Amino acid sequence: MTRKRLGQLEAEILAVLASTDAFMSTARLRERLTGDPAYTTVNTVLFRLLDKGLVERRQEGRAYHYRLIANESELAAERMFDHLRIANDPSSVLSQFVDGLSPQEAAALRQVLEQYSGPQ
Amino acid sequence: MSWTVASPALVLLLLSLAASLRPLPLHPAWGARFLLAMALATALTVFSTLTWICLVFIATHLPRDLVVALPGAGFIAAHGPVPLPMAMGSAFLGLFGLGSLAAAFVQWRRNRRLLRASLAGIVDDPRPLALAVPGSTGGVVVSSALLTLLSRPQLEVVFRHEHAHLRHHHHLYLGLGTIASRLVPPLRLLRESLRFALERWADEEAAAAVRNRQLVADTIARVALAAPNAPGHLALEQFRVVQRVRALLGHAPSDNPLIGPALVGGTGLATCGTTASSVHLHHVLVLLLI
């Protein structure tokens, strides 16, 4: 696996960790990844995530088990995005998960959701 | 030289605008490829047409002995004369495009530097943000607001979505689309459609991975409704988020295993012909330089 693909693997590992509330061993985590990445590669990414404060780990026997941090009290966020213009920035090559909504869009979105949740 | 020299460029430009206003009923993956092919062909054609007009204008105004001395200059000059307004207009549009591209590049470098600085941790931001950062030091950047807003299954959707962006190199699509839209400003509309197709593509991948379209739709709606209002400078209400949610609440799109490649391939071939006719002229430039 080339270094370029570590970011891609990071996203996938986060997705797998998010799918469960429990701690997961590296071996079990690896089974659920596509492309059969090497054990050491998975560990590298997990260390990186640990550094970033996105996952926590605890030792069980000789192995470490990992879990996604998604709890407010556990988050140790420091940096701000203040200077980064991403939303609707015509020159940005990054795209946000979701752009901001205008009030009209928000109203339309609520209407769609009501429409679909209504009949059930 | 008459205005007909610009006809391939104009035809492609009109087709591009039509393609971005009325997207074809394709799987977003093929939609994105199609839009990118159109954007590149159009930008290349428009830009080489502008360059060609300027070249001919210059060649017709070179001193006579210089034209004789330079192989190719006579050939180029034979296409003239170019009316002054036409040459000035072409030069202005071309330089404007290049300047705009340079500005975009500077902005991109700045954003990249800022992103690298914030990659060390989760960013503390009241907006629920999630970004896929390409490159060797890349990965996923999320804001603290996103992590506290969403449940674990919803976070999985977000990470699957970002994974799809990285896996399919969506930053390259958007980067090339941005270059095209900077060189030829009307293509900004197409770039917006391309961006939307890429988001839809990632949504569909996420839905396939978690096997729950409703969950993906709910996640997008939740993040969108929690985000602060969009800045009011959007000229036209896009309703992109609404479209994404609506699409996810419907059936999964077909993969277009036949139509997709055929259409993108066909577009490639058809536009290549048009593009080649204008790019071909650039060989003359090489001749001139030699």
Per-residue pLDDT of B47-101, as tens digits, reads 888 888 888 888 888 777 777 777 667 677 777 778 888 888 989 999 999 999 9
| Interface contact B175-A11, CB threshold 8 A | no
Residues of B in contact with A103 (CB under 8 A): 229
Q: What value does the mean pLDDT take over residues A71-98? A: 57
**pTM score, two decimals?**
0.86
Please give, rounded to a whole number of angstroms, the shortest distance from the CA of B184 to a CA of chain A: 13
Determine, for residues B139 and A7 on separate chains, whether the beta-carbon distance falls below 8 Å.
yes
Q: Residue A11: what pLDDT? A: 92
Q: What mean pLDDT, rounded, does chain A reach?
A: 79
Phi-psi group of B256: left, alpha or beta (phi > 0 → left; psi -120 to 50 → alpha; rest → beta): left
Q: What is the mean pLDDT of residues B7-33?
A: 86
pLDDT the model gives residue B233: 44
Distance (Å) from the alpha carbon of B176 to chain A's nearest alpha carbon: 9
**If we measure between CA atoms, which residue out of A15, A90, A91 comes closest to residue B160?**
A15
Backbone angles phi, psi at A107, to 5 degrees: -65, -45
CB B240 within 8 A of CB A97: no
- Position B86 scores a pLDDT of 86
Tell me the pLDDT band of B276, cut-offs 50, 70 and 90: low
Mean pLDDT of B269-290: 59
Task: Out of A75, A81, A113, name the one closest to residue B129 (CB).
Answer: A81
Per-residue pLDDT tens digits for B119-164: 655 777 777 888 888 877 778 888 888 888 999 999 999 999 999 9
The predicted model gives A56-68 an average pLDDT of 91
Round to whole Å and give the CA distance between A52 and B217: 28
Within 24-43 of A, beta carbons closer than 8 Å to B belong to: none
Buried b (16+ CB within 10 A) or exposed e, B203-226: bbbbbebbebbebbbbbbbbbbbb
Mean pLDDT score, B268-285 = 62
- In 3D, which of B284, B229, B255 has the Cα closest to residue B28? B255
Helix (H, G, I), strand (E, B) or coil at B227: coil
CA-to-CA separations, B5 to B49, B170, B250, B274, B279, in angstroms, rounded: 7, 34, 46, 12, 13
Statement: residue A120 has pLDDT above 70:
no
pLDDT band at A1 (very low <50, low <70, confident <90, very high): low
What DSSP character marks residue B123?
A: B
**pLDDT tens, position by position, B160-185:** 999 999 999 998 999 999 999 999 99
Give the gap in angstroms from C-alpha A80 to the nearest C-alpha of chain B: 5
Q: Would you call B225 an interface residue with chain A, using a CB distance cutoff of 8 Å?
A: yes
Residue B11: per-residue pLDDT: 84
Give percent of chain B above pLDDT 90. 31
| B102 vs A: CB within 8 A | no
Q: A76 in contact with B at a CB cutoff of 8 Å? A: yes
